[in-house]
A = this chain, B = another copy of it.
Amino acid sequence: MRIPLDRHSGTPLYRQIEGYLRRSIVSGSLAPGTRLSATRRLAQDLGVSRMTVENAYAELEADGLVAARVGSGTYVLSPYPVPRATRTADVAWPLWQEDLSAMGTERSHPTPEELLRVAGHPHPIDLSSGVGDPRLFPADEFRKVLQNLLRRDPIGALAYGDRRGYEPLRSTIAHVLASQGIQTSAEDILITAGSQQALALTAQVLLNRGDVILVESPTYGSGLDLFRALGLTIVGVPTDEHGMQVEQLEPLLQKHHPKLVYTIPNFHNPTGSCMSGHRRRQLVGLADRYNVPVLEDDFVGDLRYEGHAQPALKALDPGGRVIYTSTFSKMLMPGLRVGFVVAEGPFHERLVEHKRVSDLATSNLIQRALQAYVTVGRYQAHLRRTRRVYRRRRDAMLQAIDRFLPSGTHVTSPQGGLFIWLHLPEGISSAELLPLACDRGVAFAPGPAFFPAPDAGQSFARLSFVAQPPEDIGIGIARLGWAIEKLA
């Protein structure tokens, strides 16, 4: 047995031997029952006196880690007096665990993506995705930016950063927003781990368990999951092709006294609709009148393919009423997990503190790389290229729907974003349709995931037109058409 000894160390040799063996026993690399080398033999191997080895063994024996059997040798015991039980059927969960289980997060359904994988089609086409096409991501350019960064300032890049986020990135975001009509400053921006964290922090600061949040019905599914996990009471506001029906908002504000209104005004997830300018002004006015904050989720506001931009709610905010969030994740690289919140006043301060206690800060390395990438104008070029590609895909999907889906299927053409919202023919439920479609090799996001009411949305399906190239979109929609007709 070779044991590394340091003869110049202040630690006596017997301690070094003992420490090495102890670690081996505790780590399990010397299994219980193993016979240690005889003291004479080990002393010879290591070039130390026999007494040194005997002292080491004696220490281990005193701690109950080995046992000497007369005439037989020294054997390794189980390292802990309390035997480490591996979790088996006979070790019961503690009661607090049973209670959590009883509180019942109902076992989460398999995702459409998982269903598609399980179905095992040789050429599966996933139209259920909520993000952009990773094949368009400018990975090579981003790699070079990272490379330069880690060469130039490795310590800065790998240390903790400013708690609100890397200042130059916040300044750049303020400039980009200014070009979209939102006047803000780096001071009012907080960098988050994607816009999901922006939603979570905002809801945690503003609402307690049981408080009411108003959301569009339908709305972003992981937003609903978050609000449910926080124990909020979710009330839906009806929508149409111009977004939230703000006309119906006032009685809901009077009845429910919500603590927050959550809205996705541009290229809505899942419907793809844009809120009209008139409704935007109405909404900001009502929020002010009824003293309720508005959380504006502008997750793909930059991805417009046609039509006129409407002002952001934040641009209509006289100050401190609208909380604006957006992200780089959807458009650029989901794996980066960088989003941001624009907000002012005491709320902004609370948000910054809540971010700090939640995870200290978002990866400084990624923030710096993103800043370098966005600044050099490559981001704008990437956006232009992306818009061109996505617009063609949207058109390909609309054509395919027209061609392959049976009459009775309704869609509206979105002016931007990622999604087409399908109203299925009467009598077709998305829950029944999904497994059939997956078997045929195409997945979509079924309607119910997007509705606050538990039984709503069965007649809807969300399709991503950005995740696949046009050829595959055509094949995917043809398969979907087949599945719908089979079910009809």
Contact = CB atoms under 8 A, between A and B. Distances in A.
Interface of A: 11, 19, 22-23, 26-29, 63, 79-82, 84-88, 91, 93-98, 100-101, 105, 108, 131, 134-135, 137, 139-140, 142-143, 146-147, 150-151, 154-155, 157-161, 178-181, 183, 192-194, 196-197, 200, 205-206, 208-209, 222, 225-226, 229-230, 259, 281, 284, 288, 291-293, 306, 308-309, 311, 315-316, 318-321, 333-337, 344-347, 349-350, 353-354, 356-366
Given A181-B28, A335-B157, A365 B362 contact: no
Contact of A160 (B131, B142, B183): B131
21 contacts: A79-B181, A82-B281, A82-B284, A84-B181, A84-B183, A91-B319, A97-B347, A105-B349, A131-B160, A135-B155, A140-B154, A143-B151, A208-B209, A225-B353, A229-B357, A335-B364, A335-B365, A337-B359, A337-B361, A358-B358, A366-B366
Nearest to A139: B154
Contacts of A200: 357-359
A28 B222 contact: no
A225 B85 contact: no
Contact of A26 (B150, B309, B316): B309
A345 B86 CA distance: 13
Contacts of A95: 291
A146 B150 contact: yes
B178 A28 contact: yes
A329 to B, nearest CB: 8
- Copies of chain A in the complex: 2
Contacts of A361: 337
Contacts of A96: 206, 259, 291-293, 347
A429 to B, nearest CB: 26
Contacts of A179: 27-29
B347 A100 contact: yes
A101 B279 CA distance: 30
A311 to B, nearest CB: 6
Contact of A94 (B86, B288, B334): B288
B158 A346 contact: no
Contacts of A347: 96-97, 100
A222 to B, nearest CB: 7
Contact of A142 (B19, B150, B320): B150
Given A82-B281, A87-B318, A143-B147, 10 more contacts: A63-B308, A84-B183, A86-B319, A94-B293, A94-B320, A105-B350, A131-B159, A158-B335, A194-B359, A229-B354
A262 to B, nearest CB: 14
- Among A208, A209, A346, A357, the most chain B Cβ lie within 10 Å of the Cβ of A357
B320 A97 contact: yes
Considering the complex of A and B, which 6 residue pairs feature the smallest CB-CB distances, nearest first?
A139-B154, A101-B346, A87-B319, A335-B364, A143-B150, A226-B357
A105 to B, nearest CB: 6
